[in-house]
Structures are given as structure tokens and as C-alpha cells.
Amino acid sequence: MIDFRFYLAVFWRRFPYFFVLLCLGTAVGLAVALTQERIYVAEARLVVESEQIPGDLAASTVRTDATEQLQIIRQRILARDNLLEMANRLGVYRGVSAPEDQLTPDERVMDMRNRIRIQTSGTGRGSSASFVTVSFDAPEPQMAAAVTNEVVTLILQENIEMRTTVSGQTLEFFSQETERLEQELSQMSARILEFQEANLEALPDSLEFRRSQQAAEQERLLELEREKSQLRDRRERLVELFEQTGEVGLVGTVARTPEEAELQELQDELTRASAVLSSDNPRIAVIRAQISALEQIVSEQQAAGAIGLNAEGTQLTPFELQLADLDGQIAFIDEQKTVITANLERLAASIAATPGNAITLGTLERNFDNLRAQYDQAVRNRSAAEVGDTIEALSKGQRISVIEQASVPTSPTHPNRRRIVAMGIAAGLGMGLGLIALLELINTAVRRPIDIVNGLQITPIMTMPYIRTRGEIWRKRLIISAVVVMVLVGLPAAIWYIDAYIRPLQPILDEIMSRVGLV
């Protein structure tokens, strides 16, 4: 059975220790609650809105997810240079409780990062919107609201700058790509034209024409061979006839020039006219003038020896004239054959080179077609990029807008002084009860008759408790009173002195409370 009366008596006997620890916990709680600085938290709310223009009509070229975009913006805002510039511009550390010379730049950056909170909710996909909560805590409510609104302004600016920069870079890329492909198209066109001009007679487009021309030249060559064979037969028969008979058949006249024939006709006409007309007739005078002019021409021809003379300068015989005529025709046919043979060789070479030229030209044309397809796609992409850049310039794409600006808080958010004092009292109660239980566990002295029976195995007739004198009682009371006064007065005074003149306890308390999860 549990002896409640005994344990109650033990509690009252140990009550001074319990009271001292209770006062200690209460004093520490009061000191912490009173020394902690009031912190005001200002909060602003933003929302990530979807595109203002349907994507199937005109799409933006910025495809960054809302969550990813907010993370990028958060990292840019919390960069070292931005935080230091913001703290100096807004005077975050120009207060009495935190002089500027007490924090290094690194400590300021760390403190600003701990005090600025940018939290997102929602995924921003489908029908679910993405919300952003921005807050900042400061000892002064005006400072908390000013820094929070400044962070909101930076978020909006970073969002606009990031989206316009991405759309502008996209447009610039496709513009440069279009210009590059246009230059390559011009170069490829020049290469194709240069190749066609260099191989004008061996292009695949004219292959059928050159083959038909080759067939025609071969047919002409065969015809010339037949004509040459016929002329050679005539020459052989002429020579054979002349050797047998000494004559050449009907050929007996001497070849005359057209001027000589015309001169002979005019002379005959003059003879006939003189028989009819008088010598002073105009007709007779005209004929004579014509005869005189033709005689001069014929004399010049004969003087130059143009025709009708052999190697010795004598007039050619009819046989020699016919042989010369046949030899001339045969020589003319040989010249024609030479020309045709050269043409055939040229045509054969061009036809042989056509397949290789067709492959090379086909490769060039395929490259040109590929470049043309790339160029057309780049033009379409540039048009889409121009539309996307216009959308972002007009803020018609995905954007971040403010739902609620940060207002000046009217009451501090923390510390919760009542909670801290209650925690101090609870700690004092726990320490007091724990100390009493510990002392009771380690105390092996005999205090009850049952202890004598259990320890010595004897049953006492009677027991008498220890009776203190009046002096011992007052001495004990004075000691307890002094300890209580020291705990209630001296400990808070010591904490205040350390916080005011040695080192501020606020950062240390904030760190401890942050580690235990109270903040």
C-alpha cells in the first residue's frame, strides 16, 4: 500500500527546495520574456496568373514552370549583393538594438536570409493556381512592412525581367539563325550556279538532247562516208576513161567566171545592137560602158591568176578541172568528217561526265532543299518568337500579381510572453518535483517504523521524530528566504546586466528557441 500521508510529509519537508526551483524557473521565464525584443511580421500575398491569351491562338515562348520560376526568382533576390544593397538602402541595421558595427556583412546576409520568408503553395498546373506568401520580421512594424513590400517589388521586377529576357533571347536567336541560313542559302545558290556554268554542256537536263544530237552526227558521218565513197568511184572511173580514150566525155569547155560569161553576153548584145542602132545611140553607150567595166574586172582576175592555171601557169585541161573538182569535194567531206568526229568526241565526253555531274548536282540541290526547309522553319519560329516577345512585352503571358500588399502590423507576432512564462513555471515545477524524487531515491535513512521493521527485522515499541530547536527553524527559514530573494531578484538583474552591457542575449535565445522548435 502507498503511504500518501508519508509522501505528503516528505513533500512538505522538501518544499523549500521545490519552491526555490519553482522560483528559479519562473524567474528565468520572466527574464526571458521581458528581455526578448518584440518582433513584428509583415506579410504579403501574390498569385501566379495563367496566360491572358489562349495558347492555341498565340503562345508565349517562355515555358518555365511556375514553381521553377519562383525558385529562380527567390535565389536571385536572396543573393548576397541584393540583400546587402537592400539592407543599406532601407536601413535595416540602423537601430539601437542592433548597431551597424555589431554585424559583419556575412552576418547581415545570413540574418536577412533567415528573416525573409518566401513560401509557395499550389503547383500552378492545370486548374490549380500557385500562391506566394512573402513575409519579413523586424523590431519595428514600419520596417517589417517596408522590407516585405520591397521584396514583393523585386519579385515582380525579376519576373518581368526574366520573362522578357527569355523571350528577347529567343527572338534574337531565331533572328540570327534566319540570317545565317539565308547567307548559307545564298552561298549554296551561288555554288549551284557556278557548277552549272562550269558544266553547262554536261548537265542531266540536256542529256536526251545530246544523245539525239550524237545520233544525228553519227548518221551524218555515215552519209558523208557514202558520199566520199561515191566521189572516189567517180574519180576512179574518170581516170580510167581518160586513160582508155584520152577524153572525158562531154566535159570540153573551159570553166569561166561569172564576170567572163557576162562580158561575153554583153559583147554579143553589142554586136546585135550595132547592127540595128546607130553608134551614138544611148543604148549603145550604156552597153559599152558596162563592157568596159567588166573588161577591167576580168583583166584584174586574169592578172591575179585566180582560176584556170596549173602549177606551170598554163590553163587547166577539162580532165584536170574535173579531177580538181572531185578532189575538192573529197577534201571538203574529210573536213566535215573531222568536225563531226570532234563533235562526237565532245558529245561522248559530256555524256560520260553527265552521271557524275548529276550526282554532284543532286547533292548540291538536296543540301539546298535541306537549307531551305531549315530556313522556312526558322522563319516560322522567328514569327512565333516575335509574337511571344510581344505577349511578354504587353504582360499578357504568365505573370505574378499582388493579391494583398504588406501593411504595417499593429501587434507583435513574437515573443509570446505568456507562453514563455508558463514554460518557465512548468520547468520550475518539473525541476522541483524531480529534485524531490531524486533526493527520496538516494536517501536510505530510517524515517518510519516500517523502515526499522524492514531493515532490522525487529518491531519497535514506540518511535519519536527529530525535534528541531527554534534557532534551527529560523536559520533554515532565513536561508530559504535568501535563496528565494536571490533567485527572484538577483537572477533577473544578472540577466538584464549581461544583456545590456556585456552581450545581447536575443540572438542566443532566438537560436535556442529555433533549435527546439519554438519559433
Buried b vs exposed e over 22-50: b needs ≥16 C-beta within 10 Å? bbbbbbbbbbbbebbbebbbbbbebbbbe
Residue 365 shares a structural domain with residue 440 = no
Instruction: Give the per-residue pLDDT at 369.
Output: 92
Query: What pLDDT, on the 0 to 100 scale, is given for residue 190?
Result: 92
pLDDT at position 254 is 46
Tell me, what's the pLDDT at 396?
A: 62
In the prediction, which pLDDT does 96 show?
43
Same domain for 285 and 342, yes or no, is yes
Confidence (pLDDT) at 60: 59
Tell me whether residue 249 is in a domain: yes
Percentage with pLDDT > 90 across the chain = 3
Q: pLDDT band at residue 127, thresholds of 50, 70 and 90?
A: very low
Q: What is the mean pLDDT of residues 210-232?
A: 88
322 and 257 share one domain: yes
Looking at the structure, do residues 223 and 353 belong to the same domain, yes or no?
A: yes
**In total, how many domains does the chain have?**
3
Instruction: Give me the pLDDT at residue 373, please.
Output: 92
Same domain, 356 and 422: no
pTM: 0.51
Q: In whole angstroms, what is the distance from residue 98 CA to residue 93 CA? A: 6
Q: State the pLDDT at residue 250.
A: 45
Q: Is residue 184 part of a domain?
A: no
What are the residue ranges of helices labelled H in 256-317?
258-276, 282-304
C-alpha cell at 180: 545565317
- Same domain, yes or no: 133 and 250: no
110 belongs to a structural domain: yes
- The pLDDT confidence band at residue 258, using thresholds 50, 70 and 90, is low
180-199 per-position pLDDT tens digit: 999 999 999 999 899 888 88
The larger pLDDT score, comparing residue 518 to residue 120, is at: 120
- Give the pLDDT of residue 508: 63
Q: For residues 334 and 215, state if they share a domain.
A: yes
Q: Taking 50 as the threshold, does the pLDDT of residue 454 lie above it? A: yes
**Contact indicator for 21, 432 with CB cutoff of 8 Å:** yes
Residue type, 382: R
Mention every residue, 6+ apart, whose C-beta is less than 8 A from residue 364: 188, 191, 192, 195
Q: What is the mean pLDDT of the chain?
A: 77
The listed range with the strongest mean pLDDT (68-72, 83-87, 159-163, 502-506) is 83-87
Please check the confidence at residue 505 and state whether its pLDDT lies above 70: no
Q: How many CB atoms lie within 10 A of CB 263?
A: 19
**Structural domain contains residue 193:** no
Indicate whether 375 belongs to any domain: no
pLDDT at site 366: 92
Q: How confident is the model at residue 414 (pLDDT cuts 50, 70, 90)?
A: low
pLDDT, tens only, 318-335 = 777 777 877 888 888 888
Residue 510 in this model has a pLDDT that exceeds 50: yes
Domain identity same for 218 and 361? yes
Identify which has the larger pLDDT, 82 or 484.
Answer: 82
In this predicted structure, which of 93-97, 354-358, 470-474 has the lowest mean pLDDT?
93-97
Same structural domain for residues 246 and 154?
A: no
189 occurs within a structural domain: no
Say if 245 falls within a structural domain: yes
What are the CA-CA distances from residue 355 to residues 193, 202, 206, 348, 350 (Å)? 18, 9, 12, 12, 10
Which of 232-236, 264-268, 368-372, 448-452: highest mean pLDDT? 368-372
**Strand arrangement, sheet containing 130-138:** 116-121, 130-138, 40-49, 399-404
Judge if 422 and 391 occupy the same domain: no
User: Are 11 and 70 within one domain?
Assistant: no
Mean local confidence (pLDDT), 130-149? 88
pLDDT in tens, 432-450: 888 888 877 777 666 666 6
How confident is the model over 262-268, as a mean pLDDT?
A: 78
Q: Is residue 26 located within the same domain as residue 75?
A: no
Domain range for residue 453? Answer: 4-35+417-515
How large a percentage of the chain has pLDDT more than 70? 74
pLDDT digits (tens, 9 = 90+) for 163-182: 777 777 788 888 898 999 99
Identify which has the larger pLDDT, 113 or 397.
113
Q: Is residue 183 part of a domain?
A: no
Other beta carbons within 10 Å of 63: 10
- Which cell numbers in the block locate residue 507? 540572438
**Local confidence band at 431 (pLDDT 50, 70, 90 cut-offs):** confident
pLDDT in tens, 273-317: 777 777 777 777 777 877 887 787 777 756 655 445 555 555 557
